Structure 1
Amino acid sequence: MRTGALVSARTALAGATGNAVVMGVAEVSTPLGWVLLPGLLGVSTRPRVAALISAWAATLLAASVVVPVVPGHRADPWALGVSAASLAVVPLLAWARRRREERAIARVPAPRDVALFTMPAGTGRAALALCRAPGEVAAAVPLRRGGLCVLLGVTHGATLARPEHTRALESAFRGEALRGAGRPLPEIAGTLDRLVRDIAPGGYLAATLVRVSAAGHVTMLRCGGPDVAVHTGDRTRAGELPDAGPLGLARTVPAATPAPADARRLAVPPAGEGPARAAGSRPPAGPAPHVAGTEQAVLALTRRPAGGRRAGPALVVDLPPGRPR
């Protein structure tokens, strides 16, 4: 699971180029006009891409100074120095942002056929397992002050399962989860539903969305994914979440469902491979919620009988007692 990229390289490059064209046509000569948008785009992407954006923005800026027919950036040393310093700082800011995310989402040792990540989830902890199977969609977004928003699901349809399309779904989810103070889960699901229909009208995404607030309040939204398992300490039961059907096929999106007050662990098993199981007709895996340790529990969810290939993604959230309802 990749972190640290809210904007793709293509979008950032296009934005920096478009900004230079607009500034030139409008005859804007202030450093702020030429540097602000490329800087924001660079900070919102990966550090290496941020360095590329800064270099490209500096090239466009220099061209506007050198080519006399292009009204552009001021040529005096003070203005050029301010812009150069600002663009040089952008990759450092992108690196600092990614380091903060990496401290929140840590990859931990796991079997070779699974990628395992742990992260804070409000007042508890969460573990996310990916099995690198075609069509897997998973993203975990740390929110302010320790909150967490997670998307996990499986695409169906050859077009939607292409890597560039699964990455687009994950990127859209990250952007929606971080917008403002955090959009409600039904609104995020609605955005993903429209994106699925635009990318592949014949495909769909069986997904489950989970949000944990900084105080530990948990809400879940089931869109074609399997039902969650709720472990209360002495027994495990199905969460009985209402299901609107997979994204791309659903007609309505239900309200998010709060986790039961007595839940100590929530487990979201893989969506499986068939439409019936993707729609949640089978009960959640039983033994995994009882396994000691968040990482061990999520790994148990990905196992298949007779040593078959692991299936993912899967999520386990451990919540301490006394959290708010």
Structure 2
Amino acid sequence: MGGTMRSGALVSTRAALAGATGNALVMGVAEVSTPLGWVLLPGLLGVSTRPRVAALISAWAVVLLTASVVVPVVPGHRADPWALGASVVSLAAVPLLAWARRRREARAIARVPAPRDVAVFAVPAGPGHAALGVCRSPGEVAAAVPLRRGGLRVLVGVAHGATLARPEHARALESAFRREAPRRGRALPQIADTLDQLVRDIAPGGYLAATLVEVSPDGRVTLLRRGGPDAVVDAGPQIRPAGVPDGGPMGLAGVATSGTQVPAGTRRVAVTPALDDAHSRPSEAALRSPRAVDAVVALTGRRGGGRRSGPALVLDLPPERPA
């Protein structure tokens, strides 16, 4: 994850370029010559992706509308200076808008001070907040994606197998999650299925033991286990396991499962492989650390010292939430 944690683009590069090309063809065949018809869709696609890709889409859209004027096989974009100028200016603004969106999302994820051997990121989580600790231990896979209106999706897991646990493949899994998590209509089981297929493609002999977490804008927490750690929840008198059903690791013959919602009134949720590791199982004091970022640092530590092990996620939520 490095020094920063990136959020995913809503549209892939191929899809955006294909959309801009298809829009130009449709506008030409339909004899639509207004700048709005030629610029609106490429602009929306560009704003929904990374700034560099947005610049590529804008440049390609300029090429397409220029071709429609220079080689008017079918009536295309208007050739008068006003229309051409309006389109060029609009497309030039698209990368700037994509950059502004990216900056706004990046500000939602802030790295906070922590020991040198663990990177801790603070993220809004509905009406509460979350902390994600990353240690770059072998096979560690972790990604957090802020959603619209304050929601959050997080992947916490460990890749197993010599091939799948390689850093570049762990990063590929994180990138796939960042790509899928913000897409509308993609529920946690569907995201898990996409990761499952990617694991099979990368390393048929490996598997990903992960837990997916979703926090809705109103504070509801949903967990989906695919071989990953169970969560522990703090609802007041005692800290207890959440008892989330395990659907089996991704990449192996798992059982289809739906998400499990954390009961209303839960004040803290913690998810980390250390919860299932008898040699580094955290104490209740670590789980009850005053702040989420402090709890994450404590959860990644090993008893007796030694290299920290992650990832670790802690959610702190207001006690009063919708059932």
Task: Using structure 1 for the length normalisation, give the TM-score.
Answer: 0.81
- Which of the numbers 55, 79, 82 marks the counterpart of 2:83? 79
* Bigger mean CA deviation after superposition, 72-81 or 307-316: 72-81
Seen in structure 2, the aligned counterparts of structure 1 residues 316 and 108 have a Cα distance that, compared at 3 Å, is: same
Contact 1:20 / 1:61 at 8 angstroms: preserved in 2? no
> For 1:109-120, what aligned pairs fall within 5 Å after superposition?
109-120=113-124
Seen in structure 2, the aligned counterparts of structure 1 residues 57 and 203 have a Cα distance that, compared at 3 Å, is: farther
Q: Once the 2 structures are TM-superposed, how far is the Cα of residue 196 of structure 1 from its aligned partner? A: 2.4
Q: Which amino acid aligns with 1:312?
A: G
For the residues of structure 2 that align with 1:134 and 1:305, how far apart are their CA atoms? Answer: 18
**Which residue in the other structure is 1:91 paired with?**
95
- Which of the numbers 247, 259, 266 marks the counterpart of 1:263? 266
**Which residue in the other structure is 2:160 paired with?**
156
- Which of the numbers 40, 46, 64 marks the counterpart of 1:42? 46
Seen in structure 2, the aligned counterparts of structure 1 residues 232 and 174 have a Cα distance that, compared at 3 Å, is: same
Seen in structure 2, the aligned counterparts of structure 1 residues 286 and 254 have a Cα distance that, compared at 3 Å, is: farther
Structure 1: state its 5+ residue gaps.
none
**Which residue in the other structure is 2:182 paired with?**
178
> For 1:8-19, what aligned pairs fall within 5 Å after superposition?
8=12, 10-11=13-14, 14-15=17-18, 18-19=21-22
* Bigger mean CA deviation after superposition, 234-243 or 118-127: 234-243
The answer to whether structure 1 residue 131 and structure 2 residue 129 are counterparts is no
Seen in structure 2, the aligned counterparts of structure 1 residues 232 and 17 have a Cα distance that, compared at 3 Å, is: closer
For the residues of structure 2 that align with 1:17 and 1:144, how far apart are their CA atoms? Answer: 25
Q: Once the 2 structures are TM-superposed, how far is the Cα of residue 44 of structure 1 from its aligned partner? A: 2.1
For the residues of structure 2 that align with 1:77 and 1:41, how far apart are their CA atoms? Answer: 25
Contact 2:156 / 2:272 at 8 angstroms: preserved in 1? no
Contact 2:125 / 2:217 at 8 angstroms: preserved in 1? yes
Q: Once the 2 structures are TM-superposed, how far is the Cα of residue 318 of structure 1 from its aligned partner? A: 0.9
Structure 2: state its 5+ residue gaps.
none
Q: Once the 2 structures are TM-superposed, how far is the Cα of residue 69 of structure 1 from its aligned partner? A: 7.7
Seen in structure 2, the aligned counterparts of structure 1 residues 80 and 156 have a Cα distance that, compared at 3 Å, is: farther
**Which residue in the other structure is 1:108 paired with?**
112
Q: Once the 2 structures are TM-superposed, how far is the Cα of residue 115 of structure 1 from its aligned partner? A: 2.2
For the residues of structure 1 that align with 2:53 and 2:110, how far apart are their CA atoms? Answer: 22
Partner SS, residue 208 of structure 1 = strand
Q: Which amino acid aligns with 2:157?
A: G
Partner SS, residue 178 of structure 1 = coil
- Which of the numbers 215, 223, 226 marks the counterpart of 1:220? 223
Partner SS, residue 241 of structure 1 = coil
For the residues of structure 2 that align with 1:171 and 1:21, how far apart are their CA atoms? Answer: 30
The answer to whether structure 1 residue 237 and structure 2 residue 235 are counterparts is no
**Which residue in the other structure is 1:296 paired with?**
294
Deviations 1:48-77 (A, max 9, x none): 432343234334544554567898644332
Q: Once the 2 structures are TM-superposed, how far is the Cα of residue 207 of structure 1 from its aligned partner? A: 0.8
Identical-residue share of aligned pairs (%): 67
Q: Once the 2 structures are TM-superposed, how far is the Cα of residue 204 of structure 1 from its aligned partner? A: 1.7
Q: Which amino acid aligns with 1:265?
A: R
The answer to whether structure 1 residue 142 and structure 2 residue 139 are counterparts is no
Contact 1:23 / 1:34 at 8 angstroms: preserved in 2? no
- Which of the numbers 318, 321, 324 marks the counterpart of 2:322? 324
* Bigger mean CA deviation after superposition, 296-305 or 35-44: 35-44
Q: Which amino acid aligns with 1:224?
A: G
Seen in structure 2, the aligned counterparts of structure 1 residues 106 and 123 have a Cα distance that, compared at 3 Å, is: same
Number of equivalent positions: 317
* Bigger mean CA deviation after superposition, 90-99 or 60-69: 60-69
Seen in structure 2, the aligned counterparts of structure 1 residues 200 and 37 have a Cα distance that, compared at 3 Å, is: farther
For the residues of structure 2 that align with 1:4 and 1:303, how far apart are their CA atoms? Answer: 29
For the residues of structure 2 that align with 1:171 and 1:23, how far apart are their CA atoms? Answer: 33
For the residues of structure 1 that align with 2:90 and 2:320, how far apart are their CA atoms? Answer: 47
Deviations 1:253-288 (A, max 9, x none): 22221214453211111379xxxx6xx899953342
For the residues of structure 2 that align with 1:133 and 1:6, how far apart are their CA atoms? Answer: 29
Q: Report the aligned-residue RMSD.
A: 3.3
* Bigger mean CA deviation after superposition, 208-217 or 130-139: 130-139
- Which of the numbers 186, 191, 201 marks the counterpart of 1:188? 191
Partner SS, residue 181 of structure 2 = helix
Task: Using structure 2 for the length normalisation, give the TM-score.
Answer: 0.82
Contact 2:10 / 2:182 at 8 angstroms: preserved in 1? no
* Bigger mean CA deviation after superposition, 133-142 or 66-75: 66-75
Partner SS, residue 273 of structure 2 = coil
The answer to whether structure 1 residue 312 and structure 2 residue 315 are counterparts is no
